[in-house]
Chain A
Amino acid sequence: MRSRIGTAAARVAVLLLVLAGLWALWEGYRKLWESTGWTWPFPVNSTTMPHLHDIVGALFDPIREGEPLLARYMLDAALFTAKEAAVGFLIGATVGFLLGALIARFGVLQRGIMPYVVASQTIPILALAPIVVVGLGSVSIAGWTPKDWMRVSVIAAYLTFFPVTVNTVRGLRSADPAAVELMQSYAAREWSIFWKLRVPAAMPYLFSAFKVAATASVVGAVIGELPSSIQDGLGGWIINFNQYYALEPENLWAVNLVAALLGIAFFLLVVLVEKLVVHHPPEQLV
C-alpha cells in the first residue's frame, strides 16, 4: 500500500517534471530565438509561438464580450467530436474484427484482400472526406437519412478498421496450435474453438490495435469535419480560428491543445478497459 502511494507520487512528480521541461523548452526556445533574432527555421514571435500561459489563458477568456469562456465552447466541441469518434470507432472496430476473422479463417482471403486492406490506408482520407460527406448526404436507408455527424463517423471508421483487421488476423492465428489440436480431437466445433481459444488468444493483440484505433478515430473525426462544414466540433473551430490566426493565434493553439487532450483521453480509456478485461497483457504489445 505504502509503496503504491510511493509510485503514484513518483509518477506525479515525473509528470510535473515533464510538463515543466516542455514549458522550459518552449519558452527558452522563444527567448533564445527572439533575443538573437534568428529566423531559421522560422521567425519566432508571439504569432508563431504564443506564450504557453497565453494559450492556456485563452481557454479562460470569453470569446467575445459578455459571452461564455472559450473553454465552455471547447468542451462542447470536444464532446461533439468525441461522439463522432466513438461511433466511428465502434463501426470501424466491428468491421475490422469481422474482416480480420474472415481473413484468419480463409487463407485465400489473406492473399486476396490483405494487400488492398493495406492499400486502402494510402488513400489520402482528407481528400475523400468531402466526397464521403456530400455523397452520404444523398443516401437514405428506408426513409432514414444519416445525420451530418454520422457521415464524419464513417471517415473515423475508415481510419479505425485497418489496425483492428491486421491485429485480429495476427491474434486469432496466435492461438496455441497444441490447444487447437486438443479441441479438435474432442470434436469441438470450429465456432467453440473460435470463442474459447482464438478470441482469448487475440485479446492482447486486439487491445494494442484498439489503442492505435482510438487515436485514429479522433484524427478521422477532426479531419472529417474540416471539409464538411460541420461547425459544432473541434475541426470546425480549427477552420474558424485558422482564419483569424494572425489576430488571435492563441485560440488555434488552444483548440489543438483540446484536440490533443481528447486523443489522449480516448487512448487512456482503451488502456483502462484493457486493464479490466485482459489480466496479463504481454509487455511488448502496447
Chain B
Amino acid sequence: MSTLAHPASGRRNTQRVRKWGPAAIVFGIGMALWQWVLPALGVERYLLPPLSDVLQAFWDNRSELVRGGWITFKEALGGFVLGCSLAFGFALVLARWRPLGSALMPYMIAANAVPIVAFAPITNAWFGTLSPWSKVVIAAVLCFFPVLVNTLRGLTSLRPESLELMRSYAAPQRVVFARARIPNSLPFVFSALKIASVLAMIGAVVGDYFGGSTEALGVQIVSSVSLAQYETAWAAILVASLIGIAFYAAVALAERLVVGWHPSIRAGVD
C-alpha cells in the first residue's frame, strides 16, 4: 500500500477514530481516576494504590512477575487446549448419536452450573501441590463444559434445508459433518472458546491459591497480600489481567480469521 494520502485512507482513519476513540477516552479517564481522584477521595492504599506506585512495583519486580505470568499462562494454555479439544471431540460423538446427546444434554448443562473452582484443592491432592498438572486439570474442566454445550448446540442447530440437501446427495455422515455441521458450529465454538480463554486463566490463578510453585503468579498475589505488599499484589493482578486480555484477543483474532464470513462478525456485534 502506498502512503499517499488518498480519500479512502482518510475515511478509514475517521472510522478508526470513531471505533477506538471512545474506548481510548474511557481508558484515559479511568487511568486519571485511578492515579489522582481515588487517592484524593481517601481510598486507602491497601485497597487500591495509585497507578504510578503499581507501575513502579511492576518495574521493580518485573523479572519475577513476567516469569510467574509465563508459568501461569502455560498452565492456563495447557488446560485450555486439553479441555477444549476433549469437549470438541465429545460434542462430535454426541452430535453423531443424537438420542445419546439429547439424553445427556441436561446433565451437561447441570454440570456447567457446578462451582468447579471449588475442586482445586482436590486436584492439588491428586497431582501434588507443586505440580502444574493440578492447575492444568482445573483449567481444563472449567473450559470443558461451556465448549461442549455450545459446540453441541452449533453442531445440531443446522438449518433443515442444509440437512435435506446433504441427504438428497446421499452424503455419508462424515461429509455431513465436514461440510455442514462443523462449519455451522464454528461461530458457537468460537464464542465458547472466548469464554474458555478467560476461564482457563482464572482456573490457573485460583488453582495457585491452594498452593503451587512459589514462582507462579497466583501464589505471588497471595503472598504479597499476606505481606501487605499491595502494590506488588496489584502489579501481579495487572499482569494476570493483561495475559487474560491477550489470550481473549488472540482467540477473537482467530475467530475473525476463521469465521469472518459469519454475519455476526461482519456486523461488528460483540
Mask for B71-106, Cβ within 8 A of A = 1, else 0? 000000000000000000000000000000001100
Contact A18-B115, Cβ < 8 Å, known A41-B127, A124-B202: no
Residues 176-205 of B at the A interface (beta carbon under 8 Å): 198, 201-202, 205
> Which listed residue (A122, A170, A263) contacts B248, Cβ 8 A?
A122
Distance between Cα atoms of A169 and B127 in the complex (Å) = 43
Most buried by B among A116, A124, A170, A267: A124
* A-chain residues with CB within 8 Å of residue B48 when the two chains form the complex: 131, 135
Mask for B104-144, Cβ within 8 A of A = 1, else 0? 10010110111111110110011100000100000000000
> Which listed residue (A48, A222, A284) contacts B125, Cβ 8 A?
A48
Contact A214-B113, Cβ < 8 Å, known A109-B22, A124-B221: yes
Find out whether the CB atom of A48 lies under 8 angstroms from the CB atom of B126. yes
Find out whether the CB atom of B233 lies under 8 angstroms from the CB atom of A138. no
> Which listed residue (A128, A222, A223, A255) contacts B237, Cβ 8 A?
A128
Contact A131-B233, Cβ < 8 Å, known A116-B30, A122-B248: yes
* A-chain residues with CB within 8 Å of residue B245 when the two chains form the complex: 119, 122
Find out whether the CB atom of A219 lies under 8 angstroms from the CB atom of B115. yes
SS class, residues of chain A in contact with chain B: helix
* A99 is an interface residue with CB less than 8 A from chain B: no
Mask for A188-220, Cβ within 8 A of B = 1, else 0? 000000000000000000000001001100110
B16 CB, min distance to chain A CBs, angstroms: 11
* B236 is an interface residue with CB less than 8 A from chain A: yes
Find out whether the CB atom of B240 lies under 8 angstroms from the CB atom of A256. no
* A187 is an interface residue with CB less than 8 A from chain B: no
Closest chain B residue to A11, Cβ basis: B106
* A281 is an interface residue with CB less than 8 A from chain B: no
* A264 is an interface residue with CB less than 8 A from chain B: yes
Residues 95-148 of A at the B interface (beta carbon under 8 Å): 108-109, 111-113, 115-116, 118-119, 121-128, 130-131, 134-135, 138
Distance between Cα atoms of A16 and B128 in the complex (Å) = 34
B188 CB, min distance to chain A CBs, angstroms: 9
Find out whether the CB atom of A219 lies under 8 angstroms from the CB atom of B25. no
* B-chain residues with CB within 8 Å of residue A238 when the two chains form the complex: 118, 121
Mask for B204-228, Cβ within 8 A of A = 1, else 0? 0110011000000010011001000
Find out whether the CB atom of B118 lies under 8 angstroms from the CB atom of A222. yes
> Which listed residue (A124, A262, A264) contacts B110, Cβ 8 A?
A264
> Which listed residue (A127, A134, A267) contacts B205, Cβ 8 A?
A127
Find out whether the CB atom of B115 lies under 8 angstroms from the CB atom of A218. yes
B203 CB, min distance to chain A CBs, angstroms: 10
* A87 is an interface residue with CB less than 8 A from chain B: no
* B-chain residues with CB within 8 Å of residue A14 when the two chains form the complex: 103
Find out whether the CB atom of A122 lies under 8 angstroms from the CB atom of B230. no
Closest chain A residue to B126, Cβ basis: A42
> Which listed residue (B115, B122, B149, B244) contacts A260, Cβ 8 A?
B115
> Which listed residue (A115, A124, A134, A227) contacts B201, Cβ 8 A?
A124
Distance between Cα atoms of A226 and B207 in the complex (Å) = 12
* B23 is an interface residue with CB less than 8 A from chain A: yes
A157 CB, min distance to chain B CBs, angstroms: 16
* B-chain residues with CB within 8 Å of residue A116 when the two chains form the complex: 23, 26-27, 30
Closest chain A residue to B137, Cβ basis: A41
Contact A124-B241, Cβ < 8 Å, known A112-B26, A113-B26, A135-B46: yes
A125 CB, min distance to chain B CBs, angstroms: 7
Distance between Cα atoms of A215 and B133 in the complex (Å) = 25
Find out whether the CB atom of A131 lies under 8 angstroms from the CB atom of B225. yes
* B-chain residues with CB within 8 Å of residue A260 when the two chains form the complex: 114-115, 118
* A-chain residues with CB within 8 Å of residue B19 when the two chains form the complex: 111
Report B's interface with A, CB cutoff 8 A: 18-23, 25-27, 30, 44, 46-48, 103-104, 107, 109-110, 112-119, 121-122, 125-127, 133, 149, 153, 157, 198, 201-202, 205-206, 209-210, 218, 221-222, 225, 230, 233, 236-237, 240-241, 243-245, 247-248, 269
Besides A111-B23, A260-B114, 8 other A-B contacts (C-beta < 8 A): A108-B22, A116-B23, A121-B198, A122-B198, A122-B201, A124-B202, A126-B202, A223-B117
Those 7 A-B pairs whose CB atoms lie nearest each other, nearest first: A122-B244, A112-B22, A267-B113, A124-B205, A135-B47, A242-B121, A260-B114
A-B contact pairs, 26 of them (CB 8 A): A48-B125, A111-B20, A112-B22, A112-B23, A116-B26, A119-B245, A121-B244, A124-B244, A125-B202, A126-B218, A127-B221, A127-B236, A138-B44, A215-B115, A218-B113, A218-B115, A222-B118, A223-B115, A226-B209, A227-B222, A242-B210, A245-B125, A249-B125, A252-B125, A255-B118, A263-B114
